[in-house]
């Protein structure tokens, strides 16, 4: 390690963990040889992705492939494509990442472009768009767990795109591994050729070389063109982007035809804006500038886009001189979980807003709008794809921007139709009160999802009970073929609001962690919804309002008044905490008044003096009650504790 580098690493302040992890990461990966794009005609390019259920070993396999091809130095469990601090701490991938590598097969060099994708359902949009840049996919299945819910959904995504799918059975080093069984299970479920399945251990490297052979031999190269390269029109799919504070938005592109180089004037099909290309290159896994990118290639492009929104995901890029038809692109993602984000100290709002916006530069699926609350002051209403996405965002805000924040209870977007007018409500305090809904021309709807659960049948009873507690309707029930112990595949239709609370942890404890769960947004369904107000000392607190199904209002109300009682400091007067629907309280807790020990220091026979002091205290309290009719002061720290608990 060079002196300058060591110094940088040491001196990176502990308040900047993200910078530290970036410095460490770059060091471990700057090892690869020079790559000349001209050396790789289309027939020697393979674009592929690794897809799997969460934790089945995608990042570990990606490491091994990069090591075997000499792209990175060997070293255990580097997870080089998990670049974010939060990914490394939690051991999950939240952002798809790419790396090119060169592999020599039968005397020829091949350029393999690998795209590592996240496993968790909240980030499945990353999977679908990454697959848009691929011609094949490795479907990784854990040999101890077999097919799980996300295995089914990523298989569907890959087969919808007609990708060549290579089944890879991982973790065969573990004593509990049952590779033969799992290979059979995969072949039966997906109608794939069993002989093509590759049993490996990504951790130890066992048989991983066979994966490289299969990539070259089985995944097709990008479709060839009869037109000579220099005459082909440029047609590039923009499938991802990240933000660099010096160069602006950096786009990841796949070239369907033509070539692009520094100085070219390109046009965005989406906005029709023109840009001059300032840099192109490949990720290896760090950026490596190249003279150009050409047909079949996956790489990055910089062209002075100042805002991340200019790099529109799914856009088609072409040269000003030659208009092309737009590529089909992707379905836009819609955030479905919303929460208010407020600073712990009101003075910090501007800094918080800037930090939130900076984070969204690298995560275009997040939406941000200003929100103001009587209780919490100025903040932002932020939209996420799911509960884990929200948690990851909070952690990134704290890790990368050193901000402590209050995040209000998550809510889903509800639909209210009144007098023929439709509104989507994302802030609970804006939901109509019962008095405003009394006329017959109002109807309320909530978003539902289609969920799939795979669970060993010994836990089936627990899961069915849990899903019915969460208002789920069963759609299908099947035993998975060739699964030992027997496992059931359930399909349910249930409200999204029911799974953005503590559903995952309940499912985990109901099944000792053996169930897997996956969902997709479905439709809006008419629902008996109410707005639950938290009233503290006779005043509703807007930041604590929530929208719930009427059947759950009592349970939720009791839970929250109790939580509030635990965090509100005692006052000099009695404080009532109520959960109410409109004017009607449905749950209540009381915080007793603080009682000063006025007789402290009076011992033994001072009976008269003690009585006098206690009477004085009684009179004082009566006076205080008069004053206490006003609002109580609820410190921001109480909100912080409340939302964290
Ligand atoms: N024993 C054993 N453990 C493995 C193997 N492959 C991966 N693991 C372990 O399984 C865990 C999950 O591996 P990851 O590579 O992070 O899985 P992933 O699929 O990338 O996870 P997500 O990105 O969160 O979906 C880690 O603890 C790995 O060390 C293997 O072949 N054998």
170 known member of a binding site = yes
Structural class in CATH, domain 531-644:
alpha beta
Domain 337-410, what architecture?
Answer: 2-Layer Sandwich (3.30)
Question: Ligand 1 within 6 A of 173 CB?
Answer: yes
Share of the chain above pLDDT 70, in %: 80
Q: Does 419 show up as a binding residue in the annotation? A: no
All structural domains of the chain with their residue ranges: 42-218, 229-319, 337-410, 415-527, 531-644
Which pTM was predicted? 0.72
Q: What per-residue confidence (pLDDT) applies to 625?
A: 39
Determine whether the annotation assigns residue 116 to a binding site. yes
* Helices 124-131, 149-160: inter-axial angle, 10-degree rounding: 30
| Token code pair at residue 326 | 């737009």
Atom 23 of ligand 1: nearest residue by CA position:
93
More confident residue, 161 or 202: 202
Residue 593 structure tokens: 């008044």
Domains 337-410 and 415-527 share a fold: yes
- Tell me: is residue 240 an annotated ligand-binding position: no
* 3 state DSSP class of 302: strand
Ligand 1 close to Cβ of residue 355 (< 6 A): no
567, 575 contact by CB (below 8 A): no
Per CATH, the homologous superfamily of domain 229-319 is Translation factors (2.40.30.10)
Task: Specify the pLDDT at position 14.
Answer: 32
Which residue from 563, 560, 592 is spatially nearest to 576, judged by alpha carbons?
Answer: 592
pLDDT in tens, 445-463: 999 999 999 999 999 999 9
Residue 59 Cβ inside 6 Å of ligand 1? The answer reads: yes
Q: What is the pLDDT of residues 2-33, one digit of tens each?
A: 322 222 223 333 322 332 233 233 333 344 45
Among 44-53, 124-133, 140-149, the range scoring the smallest mean pLDDT is 124-133
d(CA 89, CA 131): 26
**In the CATH hierarchy, which fold is given to the domain comprising 415-527?**
Alpha-Beta Plaits (3.30.70)
Task: State which of 60, 115, 120, 168 you would mutate to test the pocket of ligand 1, scoring each by most atoms of that ligand within 8 A of its C-beta.
Answer: 60
Tell me, using a 6 A CB cutoff, whether residue 174 lines ligand 1: yes
| Higher per-residue pLDDT: 630 or 533 | 533
Q: How many helices (H) and strands (E) does the chain have?
A: 15, 31
Domain 42-218 has CATH 3.40.50.300: yes
Contact 189, 107 (CB under 8 A): no
Ligand 1 pocket check: which of 53, 59, 178 to mutate, most ligand atoms within 8 Å of Cβ?
59
Calculate how far, in angstroms, residue 57's C-alpha sits from the geometric centre of ligand 1: 3
CA pair distance 486, 481, nearest whole angstrom = 8
Q: Look at residue 215 in the predicted model and tell me its pLDDT.
A: 97
């Amino acid at each position: 390690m060079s002196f300058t580098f060591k110094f940088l690493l040491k001196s990176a302040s502990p308040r900047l963990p993200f910078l530290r992890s970036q410095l460490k990461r770059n060091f471990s990966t700057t090892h690869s040889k020079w790559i000349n794009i001209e050396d790789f005609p289309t027939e020697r390019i393979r674009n592929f992705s690794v897809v799997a259920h969460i934790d089945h070993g995608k990042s570990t396999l990606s490491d091994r492939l990069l090591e075997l091809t000499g792209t990175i130095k060997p070293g255990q469990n580097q997870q080089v494509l998990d670049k974010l601090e939060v990914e490394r701490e939690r051991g999950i991938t939240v952002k798809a990442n790419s790396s090119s590598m060169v592999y020599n097969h039968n005397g020829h060099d091949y350029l393999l472009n690998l795209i590592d994708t996240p496993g968790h359902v909240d980030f499945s949009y990353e999977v679908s768009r990454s697959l848009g840049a691929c011609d094949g996919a490795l479907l990784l299945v854990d040999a101890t767990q077999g097919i799980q819910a996300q295995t089914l959904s990523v298989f569907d995504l890959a087969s919808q795109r007609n990708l060549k799918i290579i089944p890879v059975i991982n973790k065969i080093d573990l004593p509990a591994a049952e590779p033969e069984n799992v290979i059979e299970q995969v072949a039966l479920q997906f109608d794939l050729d069993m002989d093509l399945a590759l049993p490996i251990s990504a951790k130890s490297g066992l048989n991983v070389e066979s994966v490289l052979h299969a990539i070259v031999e089985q995944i097709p190269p990008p479709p060839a063109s009869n037109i000579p390269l220099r005459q082909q029109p440029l047609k590039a799919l923009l499938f991802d982007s990240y933000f660099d504070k010096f160069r602006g938005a950096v786009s990841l592109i796949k070239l369907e035809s033509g070539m692009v180089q520094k100085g070219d004037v390109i046009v965005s099909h989406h906005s029709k804006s023109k840009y001059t290309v300032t840099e192109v290159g490949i990720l290896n896994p760090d950026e490596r500038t190249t003279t150009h990118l050409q047909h079949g290639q996956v790489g990055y492009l910089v062209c002075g886009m100042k805002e991340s929104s200019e790099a529109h995901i799914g856009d088609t890029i072409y040269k000003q001189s030659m208009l092309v038809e737009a590529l089909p692109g992707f379905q836009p993602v819609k955030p479905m979980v919303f929460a208010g984000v407020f600073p712990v100290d009101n003075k910090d709002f501007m800094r918080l807003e800037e930090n939130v916006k900076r984070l969204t530069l690298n995560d275009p699926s997040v939406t941000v709008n200003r929100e103001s609350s009587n209780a919490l002051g100025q903040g932002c209403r932020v939209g996420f794809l799911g509960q884990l996405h929200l948690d990851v965002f909070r952690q990134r805000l704290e890790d990368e921007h050193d901000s402590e924040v209050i995040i209000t209870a998550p809510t889903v977007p509800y639909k209210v139709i009144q007098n023929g007018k439709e509104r989507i409500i994302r802030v609970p305090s804006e939901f109509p009160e019962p008095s405003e809904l009394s006329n017959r021309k109002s109807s309320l709807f909530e978003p539902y999802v289609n969920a799939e659960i795979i669970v060993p049948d010994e836990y089936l009873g627990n899961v069915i009970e849990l899903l019915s507690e969460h208002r789920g309707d069963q759609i299908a029930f099947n035993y998975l073929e060739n699964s030992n112990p027997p496992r059931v595949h359930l399909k349910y239709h249930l409200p999204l609001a029911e799974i953005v609370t503590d559903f995952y942890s309940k499912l985990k404890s109901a099944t000792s962690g053996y169930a897997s769960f996956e969902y997709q947004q479905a439709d809006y369904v008419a629902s008996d919804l109410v707005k639950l107000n938290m009233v503290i000392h006779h005043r509703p607190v807007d930041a604590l309002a929530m929208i719930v199904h009427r059947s759950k209002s009592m349970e939720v109300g009791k839970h929250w008044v109790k939580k509030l009682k635990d965090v509100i400091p005692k006052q000099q007067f009695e404080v009532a905490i109520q959960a109410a629907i409109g004017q009607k309280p449905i749950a209540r807790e009381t915080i007793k008044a603080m009682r000063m020990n006025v007789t402290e220091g009076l011992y033994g026979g001072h009976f008269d003096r003690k009585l006098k002091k206690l009477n004085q205290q009684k009179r004082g309290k009566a006076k205080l009650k008069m004053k206490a009719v006003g609002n109580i002061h609820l410190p921001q720290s109480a909100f912080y504790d409340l939302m964290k608990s």
